[in-house]
Structure 1
Amino acid sequence: MFRRIWSSLMARNVKKIDKKQHFKPKVLDLFSGAGGISWGFHSAGFKIIGGLDYFGASIESFEKNMPEAVGMVRDLRKPGFDDVRDVIGTEDIDVIVGGPSCQGFSTSGGLSRTSGRDESDPRNRLFINYLDMVDEFRPSWIVFENVPGLLLYNQGRVAIDIVRAFKEIGYSVAPMILLAADFGVPQLRRRLFFVGNRTGADNCFPAATHGNPELWKNYSLPFAHLSRIGHGANREVAPHVSFADACSDLPPIEEGEELNGAQYLCDPTTPYQALMRTHSQTVEQHAAADLPSLDRLAATVLLEGQNWRNMPANSLPARFSRIRPYDATTLLKRLSSGLPSYTITTKFNEATTGAFIHPTQARTISLREAARLQSFPDHFLFSGTASQIRQQIGNAVPPILAQAIAEAIYPSVVRDVFKENVESTRDSVVVENSLTESDILKLKAPRRVREQEEITYDQV
């Protein structure tokens, strides 16, 4: 039998924290983009000190929406951190968050010191400099985010190497794949998170608050062993937030139209809409792209939930004849009002790249709709061209998902940093810090959170 890895904690009779005694751990966001992770941590009570990213428009957005923080345009492959120290000041960093692009990992060389780092490979340089910056600033906790496919690289050895590399600088980390929709984001987006610390504390992940028992029915889920948080629904969770729940109060627009300073279509009709409209009186950056002829045809003839297979065969380019009917099911697809969206990418203006056609209007989704589906509030405004804004929105970690992670680790961070005990504001799933390298790809989590009960491998 494997050692027991998983246990669960239920937060009951939660005591609200007095604002005068509200501890605000300090966060540095690497590869910050516009600030999706930062906004989530800010919403959970953390103080954002700074954000670093190579993309200037992203840093403009970050600084516009994070006035307490300092943004810095910085290529993290560049060695040395004196310039970072000069910008963020002398404050200690309690948490470092962020994640290099998945192109930052090479399977030909190691990432840890013992396996031999191939620092000449610029793809490795992104992660190694991230790791070096963690080693330089020595935060108590780290949250490292990436795509689930990272676990495929070199048959999982890259994931093991990441764990080993963090361990060599004193951090115990654990991975888990989370589905954004299971935490109240209206989007079926799955991301991989490594949560870790150097204090000896157990690592925490948020328990799911939403679910759909039919979602994975008859579906072989990749990395199911790392995707069991949520993974359906039970009586203790709410249904997934749908496209209509998220966006039905936004005014209709035509293809190529943009609204700024417009009135909402109606009062909020769902809690999610009310949350998105906090501190907002008008709709901003509600802009729909011009469409090529094929996308326009799809946006005109398809019904909700239909895709390219439902279009007249003579309207499709020859390349579609080479696609098997059960493949590419999200191409030229119209979203369904009563379901979450699919993953928002940087090309949500193009129907030929994914399921981005509005459920009822003859266009692809707007900048503001995409931002809402990513859980950015309406007062969060983006800098740059439409293309640059799409890049910022599509690359972001959904703030509500980031907030869930932040709330899960908050009591442990406060205990480690401030030596004070505060009660959790959400249910959490805990990974014991005795996790070893051989356990990483065998990790299993319970299908549902259970009170004060340890879960062993042979019970899952």
Structure 2
Amino acid sequence: MNFIDLFAGAGGLSEGFISVGFEPIAHVEMNKYACDTLKTRYIFHELRKKGDLETYYKYLKGDIKKDTFYSMFPEIEQIVINKEISQETVPSIFLQIEEQLKQNNLSSIDLIIGGPPCQAYSLVGRARDPYRKEKDPRNYLYKYYVEFLRKFRPKMFVFENVPGILTAGKGELFKDVQHYLKGAGYKIEAQILDSSDYGVVQKRKRVILIGWQKDSKLYYPRVKKIVHDYKVNDVLRDLPPLEPGERVDFGSYSSKPSKYLYKYGIRGNDDVLTQHISRPHNKRDREIYKIAIENWNNAKVRVKYTDLPEELKTHNNQKSFLDRFKVVSGDNQYSHTVVAHISKDGHYYIHPDINQLRSISVREAARLQSFPDNYYFEGPRTAVFTQIGNAVPPLMAKSIANEIKSLL
């Protein structure tokens, strides 16, 4: 079965579908770094089919240059479409996808997945914008999603978004979204799913709207919940300790994988540790981290900005965002939600180990999102954190993909 992935990001949603046997016809994404991540991941899957992961690890190690690596699979330039979806680009994207269908001797698309960027109607975004983002073009990207539905007539589609979409514009925006999707010839249903119900050790709520052709016997799949008693520390403990600013680009783990990592395919026996990269921190931040970790680990109390000693405070604003320092709770079953803001600073994602006094590394963030360790993110650290924070957790996507596969 095949699919098109729109607004693909780093590919968390599509990874879930690929892992149960779906084949990507095209990923459409405007961000250059995310597109490179998608290309690298495509090559990983192709090399794994051939039993040649040695070449993949040579690339990660730096023994093969990126241009050479990408030239081994020239089709990635067609499959990963690095374009912003707009009125001007939609016709050329359609042509590229039709060309892919022709080359693969396919007459139809089974599935379209993806979620238009959601900053425009996320709750924080609305709070900061006096115009309530009405003029923001990102509010209307769902209309392009509908154009793809009309053009390719997939049997089903998965439209993913933040819960804020339900209440944006006093609910009018979501009414519009539903109206357009139904108008394309689909029955639809939306539910709020939490990634923590599907094996991910992170609380993360997402609106998952699923549609199916009106004249079919399909329906909204019942996505089975996973019950487990693993803890966040099961995701972190086999990674070597780091000082702020320290990094392991290609190296070894400090211990065997936990049962959790092994069971959910996040770390396998042949994996190599990559992108265990921590950001630098100044002395003041580390002192604050120490207070935050001690408060949390010893008394389960979150430090408020107003509780800090005066000499550690640098902000005049002591009325809002008082929880700007937050420890990832290692002994809980779930961490708090990993969001794209992690690219700006790490204060909201402090590692629970008192001996390290740093925010979580790139690899730790990826694991909290349930990305496997063999998933490599392209671009500088900030761009990589953004890709991870914006992604749909692959384990959650896999649960949805499994049910859709059996329906189709």
Distance 1:301 1:34 in 2: 35
Distance 2:234 2:338 in 1: 17
Q: TM-score, normalised by structure 1?
A: 0.70
Corresponding residue to 1:286 among 276, 283, 295? 276
The 1:318/1:258 distance shift into structure 2, 3 A limit, reads closer
Distance 2:302 2:285 in 1: 11
Instruction: Indicate the structure whose relative CO is greater, using CA pairs within 8 Å and at least 6 residues apart.
Output: 1
* TM-superposed deviation, 1:346: 2.0
Corresponding residue to 1:332 among 325, 328, 336? 325
The 1:315/1:404 distance shift into structure 2, 3 A limit, reads same
Unaligned runs of 5+ in 1: 1-24, 107-118, 210-236, 414-460
1:129 match: secondary structure? helix
Q: Which residue number in structure 1 is paired with residue 335 of structure 2?
A: 341
Whether 1:298 and 2:295 are equivalent positions in the alignment is: no
1:128 match: secondary structure? helix
Moved more, 341-350 or 305-314: 305-314
The answer to whether the 8 Å contact 2:193/2:206 transfers is: yes
- Pairwise mapping of residues 36-185 of structure 1 onto structure 2 (< 5 A)? 36-67=12-43, 70-79=79-88, 80-87=90-97, 88-90=100-102, 91=106, 92-103=108-119, 122-185=137-200
* TM-superposed deviation, 1:34: 1.2
Corresponding residue to 1:363 among 355, 358, 377? 358
- Pairwise mapping of residues 383-398 of structure 1 onto structure 2 (< 5 A)? 383-398=378-393
Q: Which residue number in structure 2 is paired with residue 411 of structure 1?
A: 406
The answer to whether the 8 Å contact 1:306/1:333 transfers is: no
The answer to whether the 8 Å contact 1:249/1:273 transfers is: no
* TM-superposed deviation, 1:333: 1.4
Corresponding residue to 1:381 among 367, 376, 382? 376
Distance 2:119 2:197 in 1: 27
Corresponding residue to 2:223 among 206, 210, 224? 206
Distance 1:351 1:55 in 2: 21
Corresponding residue to 2:267 among 277, 282, 285? 277
* TM-superposed deviation, 1:120: 9.0
1:433-453 residue CA offsets vs partner (Å, 9 max, x unmatched): xxxxxxxxxxxxxxxxxxxxx
The answer to whether the 8 Å contact 1:249/1:265 transfers is: yes
Q: Which residue number in structure 1 is paired with residue 3 of structure 2?
A: 27
* TM-superposed deviation, 1:293: 4.6
| Residue identity matched to 2:370 | S
* TM-superposed deviation, 1:65: 0.6
1:164-198 residue CA offsets vs partner (Å, 9 max, x unmatched): 21111111111111111111111111111101111
Whether 1:312 and 2:309 are equivalent positions in the alignment is: yes
Distance 1:104 1:134 in 2: 22
Whether 1:243 and 2:252 are equivalent positions in the alignment is: no
2:208 match: secondary structure? strand
Distance 2:322 2:234 in 1: 26
* TM-superposed deviation, 1:84: 3.6
* TM-superposed deviation, 1:412: 1.3
2:364 match: secondary structure? helix
1:320-374 residue CA offsets vs partner (Å, 9 max, x unmatched): 5324xxx744x211222112221112232656752x0000021000000000001
Distance 2:361 2:318 in 1: 30
| Residue identity matched to 2:224 | A
| Greater percentage in helix | 2
Distance 1:78 1:60 in 2: 24
The answer to whether the 8 Å contact 1:143/1:193 transfers is: yes
Distance 1:390 1:121 in 2: 24
1:118-163 residue CA offsets vs partner (Å, 9 max, x unmatched): x996234411111111111111110001100111112222222212
The answer to whether the 8 Å contact 2:343/2:386 transfers is: no
The answer to whether the 8 Å contact 2:346/2:360 transfers is: no
1:247-294 residue CA offsets vs partner (Å, 9 max, x unmatched): 211111110001022211111122324521126432100000012454
1:193-236 residue CA offsets vs partner (Å, 9 max, x unmatched): 10111124211141321xxxxxxxxxxxxxxxxxxxxxxxxxxx
| Residue identity matched to 1:333 | K
Moved more, 284-293 or 394-403: 284-293
Distance 1:250 1:155 in 2: 45
The 1:186/1:81 distance shift into structure 2, 3 A limit, reads same
The 1:359/1:37 distance shift into structure 2, 3 A limit, reads same
* TM-superposed deviation, 1:399: 0.4
Distance 1:177 1:374 in 2: 18
2:190 match: secondary structure? strand
1:78-123 residue CA offsets vs partner (Å, 9 max, x unmatched): 34334443253333211000011124569xxxxxxxxxxxx99623
| Residue identity matched to 1:319 | N
Q: Which residue number in structure 2 is paired with residue 431 of structure 1?
A: none
Q: TM-score, normalised by structure 2?
A: 0.78
